[in-house]
Amino acid sequence: MLKINKDRLPIISVLGEISAPGMRTPYRTGFDGVSRVVAGTGGITYNARIGDPALGWVGDHVEPAVSSKNKDENSNSAYNTLSCVGNVAYVVDGAAKGAKGYVTGTHGGIEHVLIDFAPEILEKLVVGDKIQVRATGQGLEIEGFPGIKCMNLDPDLFLRMGAKEAGDGVLEVPVAAIVPAELMGSGIGAATAERGDYDITTQDADALREHGLENLRFGDIVAVRDRSSFYGRSYRKGAIEIGVVVHSDSKISGHGPGVTTLLTANRGEIRPVLDAGANIAFYLGVREP
Count of structural domains, the chain: 2
Q: Do 261 and 174 sit in the same domain of this protein?
A: yes
Q: Do 179 and 267 sit in the same domain of this protein?
A: yes
User: Could you tell me if 176 and 274 are in contact, meaning their C-beta atoms sit under 8 angstroms apart?
Assistant: yes
Q: What is the pTM of this model?
A: 0.95
Q: Do 11 and 86 sit in the same domain of this protein?
A: yes
User: Could you tell me if 246 and 197 are in contact, meaning their C-beta atoms sit under 8 angstroms apart?
Assistant: yes
Q: Please say which residue of 87, 103, 135 terminates a domain.
A: 135
Q: Do 187 and 272 sit in the same domain of this protein?
A: yes
Outline where DSSP puts E strands in 108-183. 112-116, 130-135, 148-150, 164-165, 171-175, 177-179
What is the C-alpha separation between 140 and 143, in angstroms, rounded? 10
33 in a domain, yes or no? yes
Q: Which domain holds residue 121?
A: 6-135
What is the C-alpha separation between 200 and 259, in angstroms, rounded? 7
Helix (H, G, I), strand (E, B) or coil at 260: strand
Q: Do 153 and 274 sit in the same domain of this protein?
A: yes
Please, what is the Cα angle at 159 between 53 and 7, to 5 degrees?
Answer: 130
Q: Please say which residue of 111, 135, 159 terminates a domain.
A: 135
Q: Do 237 and 198 sit in the same domain of this protein?
A: yes
Whichever domain contains 158, its CATH number is 2.102.30.10
What is the C-alpha separation between 259 and 90, in angstroms, rounded? 24
141 in a domain, yes or no? no
What is the C-alpha separation between 287 and 281, in angstroms, rounded? 5
pLDDT, tens digit only, all 289 positions of the chain = 899 999 999 999 999 999 999 988 898 898 989 999 999 999 999 999 999 999 999 999 999 999 999 999 999 999 999 999 999 999 999 999 999 999 999 999 999 999 999 999 999 999 999 999 999 999 999 999 999 999 999 999 999 999 999 988 899 999 999 999 999 999 999 999 999 999 999 999 999 999 999 999 999 999 999 999 999 999 999 999 999 999 999 999 999 999 999 999 999 999 999 999 999 999 999 998 8
Q: Do 271 and 162 sit in the same domain of this protein?
A: yes
Q: Do 179 and 251 sit in the same domain of this protein?
A: yes
- Looking from the CA of 185 toward its CB, the CA atoms found within 13 Å total 18
φ, ψ dihedrals at 160, nearest 5°: -90, -5
